[in-house]
């Protein structure tokens, strides 16, 4: 089948393209911006890419058009496929109908930590010999790709949660149990014609509800609207499946109060069935317990309370899939995080430069708190781009300055098109902040302040005009 994917260079749609190609389909696609690294990855797979959304890119007509959620009515490609009555489907629905129907799906939902936790869970299953399939909203360092089908066919041990029957013989006995598939379950809407959250298409047997806060102000009017979508996910987890839920999140408790029909396990540092005791203040070492019984001590490269919570969720979900917790704890020691999650770019002249995919005040605060616990009194400098739709709309403006409390200095990128006045943030930072109108000015301001022993963190969920690496290059001899 010849598939054309609209919005193919997004991480999610690019992952679908890779999976479709692995399934043997002829795949092509188009996007508004075709550029590395995703374009290089797709071209390496033999996928033809077209720049822009033009009607002629859909001629001759493909067998099926898979539509990304970034496209809306008025887009030339969308108008053409509707006028020409071309068959089309959303990415999440194609994935659910084509690939996930016969898999045991482990889905990771939440406002924060989805990509890290999904990658962590996939790595735990990989270390256990499961060879899971996965689709992650980033590139896990342990795998080097954002998506794969997975190859193992294991017989599930008795007691594993939500194991699908797989293919059955005439007498009804399972012949080939399904492959585990780990997926990042996004609450963002599915497509211009389907305003449900993406995750309702995945039908997981095991689902993690990591946390829930207000976000995506462009599609959700309030927190209650997001909670309703999360409850749609709860409704489709089977009775013999498993829900792994953050015990410290009151909004998730409200979601469960709407009804819960599956086996439930909770996790948390202060409460829950699965708990962690921090051995080191930065979270790089912690003891895991289940129902009060200590199971082992984890030691890994990550830090921060938020990542310990992510780890507890992944351990609990893997346990539901039949992986002993002690094996999961051991696997964490070799886990390498996803690119742009406090990724260390360089350490030059004693200045350490990080690239972080920040998109929400809570994520900013927890990330900087983890770094502060690790570096002690060393200076932390932040270059911040308010880039998500919610950030640009000003939905999080009141929380932004408090989220930066662990930073010694902040340079905020206030592009001219920003919908709100950044001066209030600068004032609230009480001498620690400045706002500039361009990335060039932001890099210059940070270069003027940086000195030996500093930790410089660039935070944005966009390309940021390659600011972290441009800053790092300027630190090289002769670079300034």
Neighbours of 240 (CB within 10 A): 12
We report the CATH number of the domain holding residue 48 as: 3.40.50.720
Residue 250: predicted pLDDT: 96
pLDDT exceeds cutoff 50 at 188: yes
Instruction: With beta carbons less than 8 A apart as the criterion, state whether 392 and 418 touch.
Output: yes
Domain end call among 305, 332, 359: 332
Query: Is 186's pLDDT higher than 70?
Result: yes
Which one is predicted more confidently, 296 or 415? 296
Of the listed ranges 179-183, 265-269, 421-425, the least confidently predicted one is 421-425
- Residue 349, SS3 per DSSP: coil
199: enclosing H helix or E strand:
none
pLDDT at 166 over 70: no
Q: Tell me which of 383 and 340 has the higher pLDDT.
A: 383
Bridge partners of 65, per DSSP, are 4, 88
Question: For residue 98, which of 25, 172, 191, 175 has the smallest C-alpha distance?
Answer: 25
- The SS3 of residue 257 is helix
- Give residue-wise pLDDT tens across range 294-327: 999 999 999 888 899 999 999 999 999 999 999 9
* Domain membership flag for residue 326: yes
CA distance 39 to 357: 20
> What pLDDT does residue 155 have?
40
Residues 328 and 353 occupy one common structural domain: no
Lowest mean pLDDT among 34-48, 57-71, 445-459: 34-48
Are 373 and 461 in a shared domain?
Answer: yes
Tell whether 170 is covered by a domain: no
Token pair 């080939």 is found at 176
Residue 172 zone, left/alpha/beta (φ > 0; ψ -120 to 50; rest):
left
pLDDT, residue 363, reads 81
Maximum separation of any 2 CA atoms in the chain, in Å:
74
Both 370 and 303 in one domain: the answer is no
* Matching residue, tokens 């200045």: 351
- Give the pLDDT of residue 168: 39
| Crossing angle of the two packed helices 305-320 and 325-332, in degrees rounded to 10 | 140
| Last residue within a domain, chosen from 92, 125, 142 | 92
Q: Taking 70 as the threshold, does the pLDDT of residue 420 lie above it? A: yes
> pLDDT tens digits, residue range 361-396?
888 888 898 899 889 999 999 998 887 666 666 566
Q: Please give the Cα distance from 236 to 207 (Å, whole number).
A: 10
CATH number of the CATH domain containing 145: 3.40.1190.10
Q: Give the residue from 415, 418, 421, 376 showing the smallest Cα distance to 398.
A: 421
| Mean pLDDT of the 224-243 span | 96
Pair 352, 325 in one domain: no
- DSSP letter for each residue of 367-386: HHHHHHHHHTTS-EEEEE--
Confirm whether 165 is domain-assigned.
no
Same domain, 196 and 230: yes
| Of 183, 187, 211, the residue nearest 69 (C-alpha) | 187
259 and 379 part of one domain = no
- Rounded average pLDDT over 141-163: 70
CA atoms within 13 A on the CB side of 221: 1
Task: Please state whether the peptide bond connecting residue 198 to the residue before it is cis, i.e. omega within 30 degrees of 0.
Answer: no
pTM: 0.83
Q: Do 109 and 192 lie in a common domain?
A: yes
Residues 266 and 413 both lie in one domain:
no
Same domain for 272 and 136: yes
Q: Is 389 exposed, middle or buried (0-12, 13-18, 19+ CB in 10 A)?
A: middle
Q: How far is Cα 336 from Cα 123, in angstroms, rounded to an integer?
A: 9
Structural domain of 359: 343-475
CA 104 to chain centre: 20
- The average confidence (pLDDT) of the chain is 89
Of 53-57, 136-140, 198-202, 453-457, least confident by mean pLDDT is 136-140
> Does 265 map to a domain?
yes
Q: Cβ atoms within 10 A of the Cβ of 30, count?
A: 21
In a domain, 160, yes or no: no
Please tell me the distance from the alpha carbon of residue 308 to that of residue 298, in angstroms, as a whole number. Answer: 10
Task: State whether 67 and 196 are in the same domain.
Answer: no
Summarize the confidence of residues 44-54 as an average pLDDT: 93
Number of domains in the chain: 3
At residue 183 the predicted structure's pLDDT band, cuts being 50, 70 and 90, is very high
Comparing 18-32, 105-119, 137-151, which segment has the lowest mean pLDDT? 137-151
Query: What is the model's pLDDT at position 158?
Result: 38
- The domain boundary, picked from 72, 92, 112, lies at 92
> Residue 428: CB partners within 8 Å, gap ≥ 6?
401, 402
DSSP 394: T
pLDDT reported for residue 465: 87
284 domain-assigned: yes
Q: Are 425 and 412 in contact (CB under 8 A)?
A: yes
Beta strands in 98-209 (DSSP E): 104-109, 133-135, 147-148, 167-168, 174-176, 180-184, 189-191, 194-197, 206-209
pLDDT band at 164 (very low <50, low <70, confident <90, very high): low
pLDDT band at 163 (very low <50, low <70, confident <90, very high): low
* Per-residue pLDDT reduced to its tens digit, 93-130: 999 999 998 899 999 999 888 999 999 999 999 999 99
Sequential DSSP letters for 21-43:
HHTT-EEEEEES---TTHHHHHH
Residue 190 lies in a domain: yes
pLDDT in tens, 243-283: 999 999 999 999 999 999 999 999 999 999 999 999 998 89
Residue 362 phi, psi dihedral angles, 5° rounding: -65, -45
Determine, yes or no, domain membership for 254: yes
The pLDDT score that the predictor gives to residue 357 is 82
- Domain shared by 83 and 107, yes or no: no
Say if residue 349 is in the same domain as residue 459: yes
């Amino acid at each position: 089948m010849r598939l054309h994917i609209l919005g193919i260079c997004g991480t999610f749609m690019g992952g679908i393209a890779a999976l479709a190609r692995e399934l043997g389909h002829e795949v092509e696609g188009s996007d508004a911006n075709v550029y590395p690294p995703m374009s290089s990855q797709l071209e390496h797979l033999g996928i033809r890419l077209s720049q822009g959304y033009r009607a002629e890119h859909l001629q001759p007509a493909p067998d099926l058009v898979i539509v990304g959620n970034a496209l809306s009515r008025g887009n030339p490609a969308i108008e053409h496929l509707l006028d020409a009555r071309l068959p089309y489907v959303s990415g999440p629905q194609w994935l659910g109908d084509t690939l996930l129907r016969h898999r045991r799906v482990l889905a990771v939902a939440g406002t924060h930590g989805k990509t890290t936790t999904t990658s962590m869970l996939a790595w735990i299953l990989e270390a256990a010999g499961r060879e899971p399939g996965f689709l992650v909203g980033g590139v896990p360092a342990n795998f080097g790709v954002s998506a794969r089908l997975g190859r193992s066919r294991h017989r599930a041990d008795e007691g594993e949660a939500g194991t699908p029957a797989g293919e059955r013989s005439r007498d009804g006995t399972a012949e080939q149990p399904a492959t585990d598939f780990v997926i990042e379950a996004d609450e963002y809407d599915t497509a211009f014609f389907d305003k449900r959250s993406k995750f309702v298409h995945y039908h997981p047997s095991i689902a993690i509800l990591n946390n829930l806060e207000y976000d995506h102000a462009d599609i959700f009017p309030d927190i209650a609207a997001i909670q309703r979508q999360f409850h749609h996910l709860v409704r489709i987890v089977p009775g013999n499946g498993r829900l792994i839920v953050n015990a410290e999140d009151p909004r998730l408790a409200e979601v469960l109060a709407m009804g819960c029909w599956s086996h439930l396990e909770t996790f948390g540092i202060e409460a829950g069935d699965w708990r962690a005791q921090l051995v080191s203040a930065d979270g790089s070492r912690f003891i895991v317990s289940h129902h009060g019984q200590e199971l082992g001590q984890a030691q890994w490269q990550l830090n921060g309370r938020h990542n310990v919570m992510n780890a507890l969720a992944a351990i609990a979900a893997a346990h539901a899939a039949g992986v002993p917790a002690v094996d999961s704890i051991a696997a964490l020691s070799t886990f390498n995080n996803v690119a742009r999650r406090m990724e260390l770019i360089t350490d030059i002249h004693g200045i350490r430069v990080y690239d972080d995919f920040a998109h929400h005040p809570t994520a900013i605060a927890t990330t900087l708190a983890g770094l502060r616990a690790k570096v002690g009194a060393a200076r932390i400098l932040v270059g911040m781009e308010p880039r998500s739709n919610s950030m640009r709309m000003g939905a999080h403006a009141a929380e932004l300055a408090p989220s930066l409390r662990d930073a010694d200095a902040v340079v905020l990128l206030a592009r001219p098109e920003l919908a709100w006045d950044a001066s209030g943030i600068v004032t609230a930072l009480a001498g620690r902040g400045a706002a500039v109108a361009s990335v060039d000015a932001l890099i210059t301001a940070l270069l003027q302040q940086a000195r030996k022993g500093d930790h410089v963190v660039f935070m944005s969920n966009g390309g940021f005009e390659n600011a972290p690496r441009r800053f790092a290059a300027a630190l090289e001899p002769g670079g300034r």
